[in-house]
Amino acid sequence: MARVPEPLVVGRVIGDVLDSFTPTTHMSVTYNTKLVCNGLELFPSVVTAKPRVEIQGGELRSFFTLVMTDPDCPGPSDPYLREHLHWIVTDIPGTTDAAFGREALSYEMPRPNIGIHRFVFVLFKQKRRQSINPPSSRDCFSTRSFAAENDLGLPVAAVYFNAQREGAARRR
């Protein structure tokens, strides 16, 4: 049963980062037992380490690519460095998690300086076991063109969370 991707439309993830797609695979991203739902607000201190990404769909023979980007870099009011790339993991076998894949680009801790940033996890299904070359720089990344270059097609799952700079006085 495909879940309606309305939170992604409302949060303008579909539009800024992705094109409209139908989610076929269920993906769950967990930071230290905190499950990431669309639009959840997390502290940067929570997201320092890479999350546990479980893919509950596909078969063991199918491979997936996970991309994590920040479309509001350096600030949501003027994102001239859209998007900033944080993490690429390729060749993830289905029904497992991202630790079994090949980390093409190492995980970079989110550092939102200005405003509230969205951080998007996008899952693509690979047609075959391929090697993906990571782009030269992390800035000015385009998920659409990355998918087009590596022949990945439309995404199969996406989730996003929000984060802002943790000031010294911020207490929950």
Partner 1 sequence: MAVTMALATATGAAECSRWSMASLKGALPSLPERCTIPTASSSSAPCGHRSLRLSVGLRKPEFQFGSFSGLSPLNPLLSLGLSESMSFEHNFTIIDNGGRVSAMRHGRKVPKLNRPPDQRKALLRGLTTQLLKHGRIKTTRARASAMRKYVDKMITLAKDGSLHKRRQALGYIYEKQIVHALFAEVPDRYGERNGGYTRIIRTLPRRGDNAPMAYIELV
CB of 21: closest distance to partner 1 in angstroms? 20
Report the interface residues with partner 1, using CB under 8 A: 10-12, 39, 41, 72, 75-79, 114-116, 162, 164, 172
The structure tokens listed for 23 are 């989610």
Beta strands in the chain (DSSP E): 27-31, 34-35, 40-42, 52-55, 63-70, 84-93, 102-105, 116-126, 157-164
Nearer to partner 1, 7 or 134 (CB): 7
Nearer to partner 1, 49 or 116 (CB): 116
CB of 11: closest distance to partner 1 in angstroms? 6
CB of 55: closest distance to partner 1 in angstroms? 26
Cα separation of 21 and 122, whole Å? 11
CB of 74: closest distance to partner 1 in angstroms? 10
- Residue whose token pair is 């502290």: 43
Nearer to partner 1, 39 or 134 (CB): 39
Residue 151, class by beta-carbon neighbours within 10 Å (0-12 exposed, 13-18 middle, 19+ buried)?
exposed
Nearer to partner 1, 128 or 172 (CB): 172
Residue 69 CB neighbour total at 10 angstroms: 27
Nearer to partner 1, 105 or 114 (CB): 114
Contact predicate 86/137, CB 8 Å: no
CB of 89: closest distance to partner 1 in angstroms? 28
Q: Using DSSP, state whether 134 is helix, strand or coil.
A: coil
Q: Using DSSP, state whether 26 is helix, strand or coil.
A: coil
